A = this chain, B = another copy of it.
């Protein structure tokens, strides 16, 4: 009787739906990359980190590569979509730019490890589907930021001679700078100022 009760509780904790397990596995991938590095990202390590067996992981994902694909798809469906709503809002270009940058910094902070995953997967030329996903992510960010800049230039607040590529180059330096800070063991509060800092530089660049 008592054993059965315990078992029920245990299984209640353990037994989860595929969607929940998938989320846990994806999170574990980013965690492992962040804490132990890419080399430590094995299915065995994933099983230990998630607390489920190795075999079960392959019940929720067809392959290890599929987990990475799912994470990258999440970036597209969640992160890029948030950026899109910001860009399409009615706020001023400066406000939108600020929100755009802060959202990016915040996403990278919450999803530590995503930068490394994106860049290493991107360099892995063999998988064309993956490469296409990554291209789309980078391109979406470019297109969305272009829109804000275009609006600012149109309304006359920013220099019309500014190129989108210049602004984008600075924007793309955010993940590197953040990762560099992690390497350098910089304090966390420094990271929080990245958003405002980048805005300042960008505004200086864009200033009429």
Contact = CB atoms under 8 A, between A and B. Distances in A.
Contact of A201 (B33, B138, B169): B169
A152 B67 CA distance: 49
Contact of A123 (B116, B124, B184): B116
A94 B34 CA distance: 39
Contacts of A125: 35-37
How many copies of the shown chain assemble into the complex? 2
Contacts of A166: 197, 200-201
A156 to B, nearest CB: 19
A179 interface: yes
Contacts of A198: 169
A120 B36 CA distance: 11
A176 B171 CA distance: 11
Interface in A8-22: none
A123 B201 contact: no
A161 to B, nearest CB: 10
B123 A38 contact: yes
Nearest to A162: B204
11 contacts: A36-B126, A37-B125, A37-B126, A38-B124, A119-B176, A123-B183, A131-B183, A169-B177, A170-B201, A172-B180, A201-B205
